[in-house]
Amino acid sequence: MKHLLKISDLTADEFLYLLDFSQKLKKQNKEKTPHPLLAGKTLGMIFNKSSTRTRVSFETGMYQLGGYPMFLSASDIQLGRGESVYDTANVLSRYLDGIMIRTYKQSDVEDLAVFGNIPVINGLTDEHHPCQALADLLTIYEHIGALKGKKLAYVGDGNNVAHSLAEGCAKAGMVFSVANPKGYECNESIIEQAKHDASETGGKIEVTNDPQKAVFGADAIYTDTWVSMGQESEKEERIKTFMPYQVNKKLFSYAQPDAIFLHCLPAYRGFEMTADIIDSPFSAVFDQAENRLHVQKAVLATLMCGEPK
């Protein structure tokens, strides 16, 4: 494991190892046990897309690991403004011990990994959100006590979060049932790869346009905002299209009686879900947000120094 570019690049063992390592680091954090695994290391954090959770969790994670996080906005570096990814990757490799990038094109993340010689972590692209999926599955494990054989239903836009969840569930041997409106389905090639990976772990990937079918018997129900960054001009049309996919009490009634609710945030009450769902006792959205810190620390430590024996 040299980089974290997308979940499908990992073996099932690597994926489950990261979840296990995350739990160890979380326990140490709760017990106030210092774990400076990255003392003297510097992480460059490139943000072409702004974020609350990604920036704060990565910065805090690096500090807790004893390292130094360096925030680099689009105006701070020349990437995308004339300097090639090749040159940027080679220059940053001379200064830093690792790169986290949150950007638009998956190809930029892939190229940084190819042309540089330090670990690269995908903080989000338009196609993938691997750190979020790791946090999500850790949250499911904590609340349900297992992953293999459990069903996660995703209702809404077939976006980067849905893609990484499909890949993560496949690695964990889970059932992933995704319901999207017609015209807003997940990327077909990503789903086909997830189906292939699921066949090796005992998992299953189900694709439908029917939200009730997707949610039926689910152990966890997940949704995301209908209007992501850069889609503001489509807001009215998207709200009209996605309203039948709103996660509300009626839709939730098709799931298991003890099912949990998940959302990667930011959330918009009255749209992708109702307030009585996200603010209920069975909502785990803030556990998800916290777990971004712990899984990212596991990724950082694994890539930048390896877990100590």
Average pLDDT over the chain reads 95
Out of 264, 288, 296, 305, which one is annotated catalytic?
264
Does residue 224 have an active-site annotation? yes
Domain residue ranges in the chain: 7-128+292-304, 130-288
pTM of the model: 0.96
Does residue 64 have an active-site annotation? no
Residue 5 is encoded by which pair of tokens?
């570019």
Does residue 102 have an active-site annotation? yes
pLDDT tens-digit readout, 59-118: 999 999 999 999 998 888 877 667 888 999 999 999 999 999 999 999 999 999 999 999
State residue 106's pLDDT score.
97
The matching CATH number, chosen from 3.60.15.10, 2.60.40.10, 3.40.50.1370, 3.40.50.2300, for 130-288 is: 3.40.50.1370
Out of 129, 238, 263, 294, which one is annotated catalytic?
129
pLDDT above 60: residue 309: no
Does residue 163 have an active-site annotation? no
pLDDT tens-digit readout, 15-25: 999 999 999 99
Out of 219, 224, 238, 246, which one is annotated catalytic?
224
Q: Burial of 239 by CB count in 10 Å (0-12 exposed, 13-18 middle, 19+ buried)? A: middle
Does residue 264 have an active-site annotation? yes
pLDDT above 80: residue 230: no
- DSSP letter at 187 equals P
Domain formed by 7-128+292-304, architecture: 3-Layer(aba) Sandwich (3.40)
Does residue 3 have an active-site annotation? no
The rounded distance, in Å, linking the Cα atoms of 95 and 234 is 41
